[in-house]
Amino acid sequence: MPAPHLFVAIPAMDELELLPLTLQDLLIQEDVPHFDIFICVNQPDDYWQQPEKRAVCERNMQTLDLLRHEKQNKEGAVLHIIDHASPGHGWQGRKRGVGWARKILFDNILQQAKPNNLIVSLDADTRVPPDYLQIVTAAMASHPEWPALSVPYYHPLTGEDTQDRAILRYELYMRNYALNLFRIGSPYGFTALGSAIVMRAGALHKIGGITPVQSGEDFYLLQKFCKMAPIGNYCDTTVFPSARLSDRVNFGTGPALIKGKRGDWKSYPIYHHSLFESIAETYRSLPKLYREDVDTDFLGFLQEQFKEKHLWNTIRQNVTDFRHFELAFHQKADGLRILQYLRQKHHDNYIEDDEALYGNLRYWLPDNLPTWYPENTCMDTFSVPQMNEIRDVLFNLENEYRRK
């Protein structure tokens, strides 16, 4: 069977410096001679009337010129340029942001793609190794049951101390969250990075495409796929997103780094492993919940959220066996509900980030903690190399879970 055709989707706003590097990585891909690259250069149209945003518009025009020149001089890949930046072509009203850029990209690709073709979602500031497309293609071929794949990621350091500390602290937040979900066997165990997703075109069409929210569109996209079928979480490659500050979205890496450089991590806490125990207990109790009501803290939270007195009995009456009950349960208790529950429990049972990180490491790796890492150590006292060492420990542990 021939390899599926590849479509790479890249949103680009104010990416004149970094997009050429990402494009260069794509144009030297090994053993993938023909594929399509779709790039949507975009910004709100009203930026043209805002003096403080005018420079963004002008850099986007330079980006479009660069891409048009590249289109005439490249080989192998077919470059498609979508202009949502020129005067009169930018986002209008509430239709704006990276979510809309990804929607435009995916919609254009779906007009050409066959169901078995692959869509590789990247960002304009993300570097990939020369065998990236080859490896993700092989991974999806080896697992035809995956509707999508969440690829391992790793933010390169910049050499600027404050910024490096911020990106490392943000990765500690993300990796602690993912590891806890992997550990309890949650079907929503994934890390949502729009620059690290590969999906089947047919699966994307079946879930109705991407929801074009201004922030978090990657989270909701992967959640949709998880409700279709288990997604893949591992292949033997890594994407390298930029560790830069950005205020173009409401939450995510860029805004987190801006807050983090000010010392504000309230929106990105390190959740202690104990907060996940009621979710794990609920998962273990599902065979019993299929027959009768069960009392767990997480189930009580869900009952309050849905405000339906006989929620589980209603589901029981609408399924024919336990497998379908379990699927219906996870449709309700999805990744968003899990996150809402953890935020509430963290607020009610507050544990300092330093204590939570140490407790998680002792729980996961009791015999492999760095020798320099004593109890009651504050992360603010860590050097960048020490924070990076912890990041690498968690990166390797996370990849072990991803492989499973």
Total of domains in the chain: 2
Check whether residue 75 and residue 217 sit in a common domain: yes
For residue 195, is it within any domain? yes
For residue 373, give every residue at least 6 positions away whose Cβ sits within 8 Å of its Cβ, in sequence order, or none: 358, 361, 386, 390
For residue 227, is it within any domain? yes
Q: What is the pLDDT of residue 74?
A: 60
Asked if 269 and 170 touch (Cβ cutoff 8 Å), the reply is no
For residue 163, is it within any domain? no
Which is higher by pLDDT, 288 or 245?
A: 288
Asked if 91 and 83 touch (Cβ cutoff 8 Å), the reply is no
**Reported confidence tier of residue 373, pLDDT bands at 50, 70, 90:** confident
Average pLDDT over residues 224-252: 83
Task: Give the dihedral sign, CA 272/278/283/285.
Answer: positive
The closest of 148, 177, 183, 188 to 330, measured between CA atoms, is 188
For residue 150, give every residue at least 6 positions away whose Cβ sits within 8 Å of its Cβ, in sequence order, or none: 190, 191, 192, 193, 196, 197, 222, 231, 232, 233
What is the percent of the chain where pLDDT is above 70?
95
Check whether residue 209 and residue 75 sit in a common domain: yes
Rounded-to-10 torsion of CA 288, 293, 298, 302: 130
Instruction: Give the domain-ending residue among 311, 330, 346.
Output: 346
Cα distance between residue 171 and residue 157, in whole Å: 12
The pLDDT tens digits of the residues spanning 303-317 come to 999 988 788 999 999
Q: What is the pLDDT of residue 308?
A: 82
Check whether residue 313 and residue 195 sit in a common domain: no
Q: What is the pLDDT of residue 370?
A: 80
Check whether residue 79 and residue 204 sit in a common domain: yes
Average pLDDT over residues 346-365: 94
**Reported confidence tier of residue 64, pLDDT bands at 50, 70, 90:** very high
End-to-end Cα separation, the chain, in angstroms: 27
| pLDDT for 377 beyond 90 | no
pTM: 0.93
For residue 104, is it within any domain? yes
Instruction: Give the domain-ending residue among 327, 346, 365.
Output: 346
Instruction: Give the domain-ending residue among 237, 258, 293.
Output: 237
Strand partners, 12: 41
Check whether residue 279 and residue 226 sit in a common domain: no
Q: What is the pLDDT of residue 378?
A: 86
Residue with tokens 């404050």: 162
**Reported confidence tier of residue 215, pLDDT bands at 50, 70, 90:** confident
**Reported confidence tier of residue 250, pLDDT bands at 50, 70, 90:** low
Q: What is the pLDDT of residue 245?
A: 54
CATH number assigned to the domain comprising residue 75: 3.90.550.10
For residue 185, is it within any domain? no
Check whether residue 199 and residue 61 sit in a common domain: yes
For residue 236, give every residue at least 6 positions away whose Cβ sits within 8 Å of its Cβ, in sequence order, or none: 135, 139
| pLDDT for 351 beyond 70 | yes
- Inter-CA distances, 286 with 68, 70, 74, 340, Å: 56, 55, 55, 20
Cα distance between residue 158 and residue 133, in whole Å: 25
> At CA 185, angle to CA 290 and CA 337, rounded to 5?
70
Asked if 286 and 326 touch (Cβ cutoff 8 Å), the reply is yes
What is the percent of the chain where pLDDT is above 90?
80
Q: What is the pLDDT of residue 156?
A: 96
For residue 69, is it within any domain? yes
Q: What is the pLDDT of residue 246?
A: 56
**Reported confidence tier of residue 253, pLDDT bands at 50, 70, 90:** low
Q: What is the pLDDT of residue 72?
A: 61
The pLDDT tens digits of the residues spanning 123-140 come to 999 999 999 999 999 999
Check whether residue 10 and residue 129 sit in a common domain: yes
Asked if 231 and 146 touch (Cβ cutoff 8 Å), the reply is yes
Check whether residue 14 and residue 138 sit in a common domain: yes
Boundaries of domain holding 326: 274-346
Strand partners, 11: 40
Check whether residue 331 and residue 227 sit in a common domain: no
Q: What is the pLDDT of residue 226?
A: 97
Check whether residue 70 and residue 24 sit in a common domain: yes
Average pLDDT over residues 326-332: 97
Strands of the 148-150 sheet, one edge to the other: 78-84, 36-42, 6-12, 118-121, 197-200, 148-150
Cα distance between residue 287 and residue 202, in whole Å: 33
- Inter-CA distances, 125 with 181, 233, 242, 246, Å: 28, 22, 6, 12
Average pLDDT over residues 220-238: 97
Average pLDDT over residues 371-376: 77
**Reported confidence tier of residue 33, pLDDT bands at 50, 70, 90:** confident
Average pLDDT over residues 174-185: 97
Q: What is the pLDDT of residue 81?
A: 97
Check whether residue 28 and residue 139 sit in a common domain: yes
For residue 30, is it within any domain? yes
Asked if 2 and 44 touch (Cβ cutoff 8 Å), the reply is no
Token readout for 294 is 């069960």
**Reported confidence tier of residue 73, pLDDT bands at 50, 70, 90:** low
For residue 164, is it within any domain? no
Asked if 260 and 171 touch (Cβ cutoff 8 Å), the reply is no
